[in-house]
Amino acid sequence: MNWRGAITRTIVSFLVIWALKDSLRVFPPITYGGMAIVAVLIGVIGYLGDEVFGGYLSAYGRGLIGFIAAGGVCSVYFSFFYAPNMPVYHYGYLWSGASAVAVGLVVGIADGILAFYIDPRRRVRNKE
């Protein structure tokens, strides 16, 4: 993955979080600055995850890395909203986990689709 892919993943993550924060009832309150921080973290972790595997992942591999990065970052970030006031039987972590999985799924699917259409190896094959 190159930097263009990381920037694309960051923008897609920001747009997904922005769209889902109003549509999901269990989504914790988050500001635009918080959304930007989470999106940049998802982009950086996704880039590092791609580089661990040599940067030559398929569209499905990039989608899986996007899902893992988005789900992991969002679950850790969103759980901080519930941790200070969590009584013994409060299920805040479950709800923040549901929001994180929703964001992870949408980011992973979008990342896989974008990786398929933006893949530079695909453009080289079409020129032959």
Record the pTM: 0.70
User: Rounded distance, CA 97 to CA 26, Å?
Assistant: 10
If one counts the domains in the chain, the total is 1
Spatial CB neighbours of 52, under 8 Å, sequence gap ≥ 6: none
- Quote the domain boundaries for residue 115: 3-126
Per-residue pLDDT of 88-115, as tens digits, reads: 444 444 555 667 777 778 888 887 787 7
- In this structure, the number of other CB atoms found within 10 A of the CB of residue 65 comes to 25
Q: What is the pLDDT of residue 84?
A: 55
Query: How sure is the predictor about 1, in pLDDT bands with cuts at 50, 70 and 90?
Result: low
User: Rounded distance, CA 56 to CA 33, Å?
Assistant: 32
